Structures are given as C-alpha cells and as structure tokens.
Amino acid sequence: MSNIVINPYSFITSVSFADSNAISKSITTGTAQAIYFTDSADTFNFIESEAWTISFWVKAGWSSSLNTNIHFIIGQEPSTAYQLSDLIRIYYNESNNRLYTTYGNKTTSSNAKQKQVFWLFHANYGTYATAYAASGLGTTYWSAANRGNVGDNNFTMITLTKATADAASSLKIYWNAATLGTPTTSKNETLAVGMSATQNRLWSLGSNGVHTGNDQIKVGNSAETVYNDLSIWNVELTSGEVSELYNSGTRLDAETHSAESNLIGYWKFESDGSATVSSHDFTIAGDSNIASV
C-alpha cells in the first residue's frame, strides 16, 4: 500500500512505495561479480563545470577488519591504463573510517587533475563533529556491526551533491537527511585536461570499476553489501530536497519528488537492474543478485 504525504516543497504529491527488493553486491571480487552499465548515451557525462546529485541507499555488509576501500558508485573511463581517468566516485575508506568523493581526470600517477574531499566519522571535534553527529556511528567504524543512523530496513541514504563551480568546496554529502558538514579537502588540483562530455563512462555499483588491465573489483568481506534506489540528477539538490528524498527514512518514489524534472537516472532494483528513468539498465553479474530488503 502506498503512503501518500503532502510534499512541503511543492504542490507535487510525494509517494512512497512498496520497496520489497534491493541489489546485493557479491562479496567475491572480480569483474565477473560486478554490477555495471556503460553510458553509451552520454547521459551522465558530467564535467567539472556542471552540477549534479547522486543518491543511493546502502546497508553496510562489510567487516570492520576489511582494511581497504569500498567503492559505492563510480563512473569512469573504461579500458584505460590508469584507474583515475575521467571519473566521479564515492567510496568508504574503511581503514581510516572516512567517506571520500572524487571527480576529475587524473590520467597518470604523476599529473594533478582532480578534486577530492573526505569526511571523518569517529572524531567528535572541530570540523569533524558534524559528520560524527550525522552518521551516529560513534567512535566505532562503519560496518555491518555498526550502521549508525539508519532509515527503514537498516539502510542509510547517502547523497552526494556538486555545485557548478569547479572546486573541492562544491562537493557535499548528506547522511540520510543530515549534512556531513564541511569536508576536509584532500585534492583541489586544476583540471588541466578536463573531464570528457562524450566519454562512454562505465558506471559500477559496489565495486571500483570494471577496468581493463586492473581487475581490482572489490566490495569487502564479511557479508554482502546491499544497495537500493539509486537516483542521479542533473542539478545540485538543496538540503530541503535531500530531506524530501529521504522521506523520514522510507524510500520515496523519486518520480514524485518536487525536482523530478531534473531526475535523469533512477533504478529501484525491485526485480532486476532495469532503469525506471534512463535508457541504461544495470548488468548484474555472477553472485550479485536482487534480494529482499
């Protein structure tokens, strides 16, 4: 049964829906386990001067002893010799309990062409205190055993927004409906070679990319990590619009969101990797699968 509420940000009626399923990324590494699509329509080829938003729900399945990085979502140039070419990504650095996001076009190990910021979760002081409070993780690292503040079914909504300015300061992340605050800038380098508007980026969920020559697809041990309701927008959602999307923790049908006209990609993962909005469906490989929430 749908739960109908009046959207405070518009006259559109927001609707939650019977969210029965999500997508589970296999704990096994390797390209054969990936969840991905190639953006052959160039729908999501954001460049450094554009605004955008990527939002998804995640139920942590990894162990606190993983000691590596877990890529939640990444869009990158495929079949390239260097892994940071023409990419947008968000990943959890489990070794240091930080959430990172990067965009840029770093094509060799030595050039400098990217923006990267991070939020640290376990330090309740200074600029880190906002993320500490928003995540609810306390002083323990994020893992299947400590999911912090969650919505329905133990999922956390993570929303990454970018303003139009080409600067590290344009990046924001929300944990559910709460901002993580001012990030720490890790890289704020000039994009000497800009991001491509025509590159058919390869987008992967739950791994660090299907990458020719670098078969480093990893999601982590312990248990499968589950993703749900991925949406991509061609605008920087405001804090109010993120709160609207969070919908007090109950998955909202993004097509009923007040910014729906800016919704350019939407995957509910109810039965397979098919898109509700976009011409691209996710391929779900190997032991990765649709699972009940």
**Where does this chain bind another protein (CB under 8 A)?**
27, 29, 63, 65-69, 83-84, 93, 95-96, 100, 102, 109, 116, 120, 122-123, 128, 186-187, 214, 216, 218-221
Question: Side chain identity at 79, as an amino acid letter?
Answer: S
Question: Side chain identity at 87, as an amino acid letter?
Answer: L
Residue 17 corresponds to which tokens in the numbers above? 């829906």
- Angle, CA of 64, 34 and 289, to the nearest 5°: 85
Give the nearest distance from C-beta 143 to another protein in angstroms: 11
Helix (H, G, I), strand (E, B) or coil at 25: strand
Nearer to another protein, 29 or 182 (CB): 29
Give the nearest distance from C-beta 235 to another protein in angstroms: 28
Nearer to another protein, 149 or 222 (CB): 222
Q: What's the burial of 165, exposed, middle or buried (CB within 10 Å: 0-12/13-18/19+)?
A: exposed
Concatenated DSSP letters of 174-218: EETTEE--SPEEEEE---SSPPPSS--PEEEESSS---TT-----
Other CB atoms within 10 Å distance of the CB of residue 6: 9
Q: Please, which residues bridge with residue 182 across strands?
A: none
Nearer to another protein, 13 or 190 (CB): 190
Cβ–Cβ < 8 Å for 193, 107: yes
Give the nearest distance from C-beta 250 to another protein in angstroms: 32
The CA distance from 181 to 183, in Å, is 6
Residue 81 corresponds to which tokens in the numbers above? 């010799």
Give the nearest distance from C-beta 208 to another protein in angstroms: 8
End-to-end CA distance of the chain: 16
Token look-up 């991905």 returns 36
Q: In whole angstroms, how far apart are CA 15 and each of 106, 210, 230?
A: 41, 35, 16
Cβ–Cβ < 8 Å for 183, 173: yes
Residue 203 corresponds to which tokens in the numbers above? 């987008």
Give the nearest distance from C-beta 26 to another protein in angstroms: 11
